[in-house]
């Protein structure tokens, strides 16, 4: 097999992972035309088409996908080994990329980061807010944040937050027109504000538990969002009931702008965990991040 330079392989890896010449070129700091020329040269030397290009997207061919799966983990290990050399410097440094949903990014990650970053100016953090169940290895992230029950198999997971609860809430103006639900089944007669899940495109099922009873209720209503802020705003405006994290609803409950129902059916569940590949060789910067996020309190 003809041998190409490592730069050519890194260029292919960036395009295959980003699924875009534009994003890959920006990540690598080169022009799109130069990147395209590099990929064409690699394909010519290998005698294989590695990428399928359309006007709107780029995707690996069968050969490209095989190269991506074989090449990616080895390149990641090399980069992790090089990053570990940062430990030889006087101060921790390096870039850490984290994939997290909007709620944990705001409630867990940012409060911890704003405390430690001033002391470590050479540590850079990139947080990609993404509510889908993204494959962090395939997308080149150092770590991700998910609820404990959602952590992908084969990952090291560390608890970074307390147990959580959900809350079914509505505005006083909504309840002025409708009686509050007494049981989860009553929600089927109410106007509920739904959440569209980004991973599978289905609507989120509202989950309830009381004693030994567990109920999953598929609700319906006029509004469906894939954004938590819009769901909250629509609820405050009286357009229906919403199923929100308890901490999101609490300030508005305290002000009387929201009213809570079915509280006895909302049981605690495992909170957020930071997770990362077990093979990763930690840099000092990553170790500092782990320590800053480690949760040592009691469950809520």
Structural domain boundaries of the chain? 6-71, 89-163+271-293, 166-265
Q: Considering the chain, what is the average pLDDT of its residues?
A: 89
Asked if 172 and 256 touch (Cβ cutoff 8 Å), the reply is yes
Predicted confidence pLDDT, tens digits, the chain (300 residues)? 445 578 888 899 999 998 999 888 888 889 989 999 999 998 999 899 999 988 778 999 999 899 889 888 888 888 777 776 666 566 788 899 999 999 999 999 999 999 999 999 989 999 999 888 788 888 889 999 998 777 777 888 999 999 999 999 999 999 999 999 999 999 999 999 999 987 677 898 999 999 989 999 999 999 999 888 999 999 999 999 999 999 999 999 999 999 999 999 999 998 999 999 875 567 888 999 999 999 877 543
Please give the C-alpha separations between residue 98 and each of 87, 124, 144, 192, 248, in angstroms, as whole numbers: 20, 11, 5, 32, 22
Q: Which class is 6-71 in CATH?
A: mainly alpha
Q: Structure tokens of 66?
A: 């095989």
Indicate the fold that domain 166-265 takes in CATH: D-Maltodextrin-Binding Protein; domain 2 (3.40.190)
Indicate the fold that domain 89-163+271-293 takes in CATH: D-Maltodextrin-Binding Protein; domain 2 (3.40.190)
- Which residues have CB under 8 Å from 118's CB, separation 6+? none
User: How does strand 224-225 pair with strand 194-195?
Assistant: parallel
Q: Structure tokens of 151?
A: 């952590």
Q: Structure tokens of 81?
A: 């080994």
* Within this chain, domains 89-163+271-293 and 166-265 share the same CATH topology: yes
């Amino acid at each position: 097999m003809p041998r190409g330079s490592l730069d050519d392989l890194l260029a292919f890896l960036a395009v295959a992972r980003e699924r875009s010449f534009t994003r890959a070129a920006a990540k690598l700091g080169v022009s799109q035309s130069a990147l395209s020329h590099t990929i064409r040269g690699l394909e010519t030397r290998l005698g294989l088409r590695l990428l399928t290009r359309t006007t709107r997207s780029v995707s690996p061919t069968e050969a490209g996908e095989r190269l991506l799966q074989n090449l990616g983990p080895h390149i990641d290990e090399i980069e992790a080994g090089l990053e570990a050399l940062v430990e030889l410097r006087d101060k921790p440094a390096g870039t850490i990329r984290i994939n997290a949903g909007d709620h944990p990014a705001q409630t867990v990650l940012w409060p911890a980061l704003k405390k430690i970053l001033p002391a470590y100016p050479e540590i850079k953090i990139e947080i990609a807010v993404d509510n889908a169940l993204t494959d962090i290895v395939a997308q080149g992230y150092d770590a991700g944040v998910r609820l404990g029950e959602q952590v992908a198999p084969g990952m090291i997971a560390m608890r970074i937050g307390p147990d959580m609860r959900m809350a079914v809430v509505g505005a006083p103006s909504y309840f002025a027109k409708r009686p509050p639900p007494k049981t989860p089944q009553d929600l089927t007669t109410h106007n509920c504000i739904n959440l569209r899940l980004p991973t599978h495109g289905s609507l989120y099922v509202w989950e309830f538990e009381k004693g030994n009873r567990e109920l999953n209720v598929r609700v319906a209503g006029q509004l469906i969002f894939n954004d938590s802020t819009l769901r909250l705003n629509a609820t405050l405006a009286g357009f229906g009931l919403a199923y929100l994290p308890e901490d999101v609803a609490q300030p508005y409950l305290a002000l009387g702008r929201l009213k809570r129902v079915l509280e006895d059916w909302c049981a605690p569940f495992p909170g957020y965990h930071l997770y990362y590949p077990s093979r990763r060789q930690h840099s000092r910067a990553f170790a500092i991040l782990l320590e800053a996020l480690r949760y040592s309190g009691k469950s809520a």
